Chain A
């Protein structure tokens, strides 16, 4: 008999071989050369983790005990795979389109990225899988014990075996399962190792089968005869159990976290499903082909007390076929390890993504989840989860003591994880399914399952012996073993009908009455109508093709030169002289960052993964893109506002500049004029005073005339200077008004008289309505008169009518008085109307420009000081001004 050391050595060699295969596959995949990895058969073989050590050994035991019932475990998945076109294809498409990483992620994504739901499914998966892991450890330990001498084995200890196996598996999973946070969570190394293990499993079972049928028995006919003669032939199907178990296993293959991992997450190409649709049922068929013959022969050959679960192993040993037994041992070892590896991987992904990382984020508060630091946290969380999950399995195994209780745990676990099924199927076929419905359904089904089935069958249930015996608080119908008082019913089927029934009912009911959030409704449409929104995956991109597409896109966004430079640098960094870089995660990250500078991070992410991942843009991505776009639009509208403000300011400045230029021109003209004005009287004063000084022979009449001229000219100068001073005082607000009572008529009389006196002749005829002028005022009458004097004298100076007339009209409206002064000349040209009130302005076409151009400016300032207003009245044939007297200047009558 093979020694234990030899066995351990074989195991080690086998495991090293697996490591080597996994390393090789990783390396080839990284180089983009692993074409065989892209084969649909590798995908099919990786699905074989469905057949665990439980079925590898247990199927024969089951056949020995209950006939053909073991087939249901394989027939369920067979039906699911034959219906791949209807269900699996949709699952895989959604998985790829939404970049799903686990079944919890799938459920949570469908129901509006619900964290609660994801955590719930994760807990469910962990609870459902832990006993299953323990079962695998038990199988390996058991198979060791068959080989080893009892004494030798006892020395090593079963616990130690389990510990070593668990530790090795944890190491393997960590090495190949958590190398990176791959964008699509695929693990080529793991998958190839699993595929190899699948071949070993199948080869082992087939070899034993062939040995039994043609080695022990004499061919198929003999086997059939032996079946007829064996106790198995007494088997009569329990219809309900047959249908129930088939449907349960069909549900499980969709819901088991490890199956979801290989079926959906690790799927590299949707078309692989078409092959798996017949190849996987074929694999299952081959696996179960020889189960009954082995069981029958085992029952006949082996001693009565032998464990039928181990016939596969003990039969070859009984016939001294050690090599065959070794192969079987490795097959069982493979079944156990591949299941444990993938289950640990799937569970750790879920635990890390949906429980550890959210808690970490909540605890650390506000750290950027996209930073590299977060990636390290996620990886570490995943590694710790793997260790944690395996520790749980190990603990469960030790607590349960590896007893018979474990054997029934397989189907119990199936039912546990199947609680996800209503929410899963409802989610992808029914848009009306809501998050509340899913939570309530899963939670209630989970609770019923745990109470009725898990609790009575688990280790540590002894603590609750009282509850198990008589129900909680003595309530009999809640007693786990006989729920609702159902005595003598098949516990598994009872639990199945109760838990899934309540689950479905509540899921539908709550979905019908609750209202989903907008994100949830969008996701529902994305999931249910996935074929409208996504293209099928194009498989593993040839590196060059993806890089080509990326280059085209980058060129469009960054410009040809920049994109070319970027890709060349990346290619050089990867050690590829010419040509395009390999689109590995580092390069994609770099490219994404580069693009993000131009189009925003979310948009860049969506664009890059549209090309490389074959995934569609999820609603989350769309929301992020919309956010980004809104920000950009906001920014550009700000810019627009600023630029239009600038335009307006510039227009105002141009206007002001034009006015200034005109004023400056006017000023220049005025300066030459005023210097002329000043020089004229000065010249005559100087000339006449020189004559008076030097010419002694002047008669007194001439002398008087000369001094009269000097006097008149100095008066003119004084007046000019007075005007300038007056304006300066008015403009600086330092004028003092002496208010007194006066009649408007008197003020106008005073003005008229002043003009008549000042300008000899009274050339202009003034038309007044004295009756209307009987208005009492409280104002500075002298200043007001000054305004009218200016207006009348202007009319005298500038009215160019042959028969000049000046009309003074008084219009009294409520609370104010307008005095309009209108002549019958040709008026003031439009262009100059704006300027007449400015200082130093004089009309260009005056016959006789003797003023300094300050009159109207002074008048306007005066009116402002008096609280009134002087304005030009356009629309009259002649020059027309309006003097508005303020209300307060009207004396109460």
Chain B
């Protein structure tokens, strides 16, 4: 009983990980596209290029770290599973 519970929990975690991996680009798009609307608004002023540069570079680095974390976690979740990520009936 406890073993089955464990497995189900693992499968559940794995599925949520996949959800996270699919949603990551949405987060990325929000962070990348969001500021430009602020920058182009009527109240947006020039002269802040340096700070925006830092912002984008940090977002970029954050996305790289996030992606690396997800990849690592997905790799672990499927470790030893020859069929690799994404075999449990999902159709993409």
Contacts and interface: CB of A to CB of B under 8 A. Distances in A.
Contacts of A238: 40
A579 to B, nearest CB: 25
A277 B71 contact: yes
Interface string A64-91: 0001100100010011111111100110
A285 B33 contact: no
Interface string B52-92: 11101100110111111011001100000011111101111
A236 B40 contact: yes
Interface residues of A, number: 51
A877 interface: no
Scoring A281, A292, A528 by chain B CB atoms within 10 A of each residue's CB, the highest score goes to A281
A278 B21 CA distance: 12
The secondary structure that dominates the B interface is helix
Given A85-B74, A528-B91, A531-B91, A68 B57 contact: no
B84 A82 contact: no
Contacts of A75: 32, 56, 60
A811 interface: no
Scoring A232, A233, A275, A292 by chain B CB atoms within 10 A of each residue's CB, the highest score goes to A233
Interface string A132-143: 000000000000
Interface in B17-67: 18, 21-22, 24-25, 28-29, 32-33, 35-37, 39-40, 44-50, 52-54, 56-57, 60-61, 63-67
Given A227-B49, A236-B44, A89 B32 contact: no
A281 B75 contact: no
A79 B32 contact: yes
A825 B52 CA distance: 128
A239 B46 contact: no
Nearest to B41: A239
Contacts of B67: 81-82, 84, 277-278, 281
A429 B22 CA distance: 15
Interface string A230-246: 00111111110011001
Nearest to A234: B46
A455 interface: no
Contacts of B68: 277-278
Contacts of B64: 278, 281-282, 285
B28 A78 contact: yes
A529 interface: yes
A246 B57 CA distance: 15
Given A277-B67, A536-B83, A233 B50 contact: yes
A82 B83 contact: no
A81 B25 CA distance: 8
Nearest to B63: A82
Contacts of B36: 237, 239, 242-243
Contact of A239 (B22, B28, B37, B75): B37
B52 to A, nearest CB: 6
A655 interface: no
Contacts of A79: 25, 28-29, 32
Interface in A436-474: none
Given A236-B39, A239-B40, A270-B84, A86 B46 contact: no
Interface string A103-125: 00000000000000000000000
Given A67-B49, A82-B63, A285 B57 contact: yes
A275 B46 CA distance: 38
A531 B53 contact: no
Contact of B75 (A271, A428, A429): A271
Nearest to A531: B86
A271 B85 CA distance: 9
A251 to B, nearest CB: 14
A224 B50 CA distance: 6
Nearest to B90: A531
B4 to A, nearest CB: 25
Interface residues of B, number: 48
A690 interface: no
B42 to A, nearest CB: 11
A830 interface: no
A228 interface: yes
B25 A80 contact: yes
A282 B63 CA distance: 9
A689 to B, nearest CB: 112
A211 to B, nearest CB: 19
Contacts of B35: 237
Contact of B28 (A82, A234, A530): A82
Contacts of B54: 224
Nearest to A240: B40
A85 B77 CA distance: 14
A233 B63 contact: no
Contacts of A274: 71, 74-75, 85
Nearest to A75: B32
B39 A237 contact: yes
A289 interface: yes
Contacts of B70: 85, 277
Nearest to A285: B60
Given A78-B60, A81-B67, A277-B71, A86 B50 contact: no
A233 B75 contact: no
A330 to B, nearest CB: 26
A532 interface: yes
Contact of B86 (A89, A277, A278): A89
Contacts of B74: 85, 274
Nearest to A536: B84
B29 to A, nearest CB: 6
A535 interface: yes
Scoring B18, B50, B54, B91 by chain A CB atoms within 10 A of each residue's CB, the highest score goes to B50
A268 to B, nearest CB: 14
A89 B86 CA distance: 10
B41 to A, nearest CB: 9
A239 B38 CA distance: 9
Contacts of B57: 285, 289
Contacts of B48: 233
A426 to B, nearest CB: 13
B56 to A, nearest CB: 6
A199 to B, nearest CB: 18
B49 to A, nearest CB: 5
Contacts of A89: 85-86
A86 B20 CA distance: 10
Contact of B50 (A81, A83, A227, A275): A227
Given A85-B18, A85-B22, A68 B52 contact: yes
Nearest to B39: A237
Contacts of A281: 60, 63-64, 67
A238 B29 CA distance: 16
A531 B68 CA distance: 23
Contacts of B22: 83, 85-86
Contacts of B49: 67-68, 227-228, 232-235, 292
Nearest to B81: A536
Contacts of A80: 25
Interface string B6-23: 000000000000100110
Contacts of A227: 49-50, 53
B71 to A, nearest CB: 4
13 contacts: A75-B56, A79-B25, A79-B28, A84-B21, A90-B92, A236-B39, A238-B40, A239-B39, A246-B32, A246-B33, A271-B75, A277-B70, A285-B57
Given A89-B85, A239-B36, A292-B53, 18 more contacts: A67-B49, A68-B52, A78-B28, A79-B28, A83-B21, A83-B24, A85-B21, A85-B85, A232-B49, A233-B48, A235-B49, A237-B40, A243-B33, A246-B32, A274-B71, A274-B85, A528-B92, A531-B92
Interface of B: 18, 21-22, 24-25, 28-29, 32-33, 35-37, 39-40, 44-50, 52-54, 56-57, 60-61, 63-68, 70-71, 74-75, 82-87, 89-92
10 closest A-B pairs by beta carbon, nearest first, are A83-B25, A536-B84, A85-B21, A278-B68, A227-B50, A278-B67, A239-B40, A237-B39, A274-B71, A242-B36
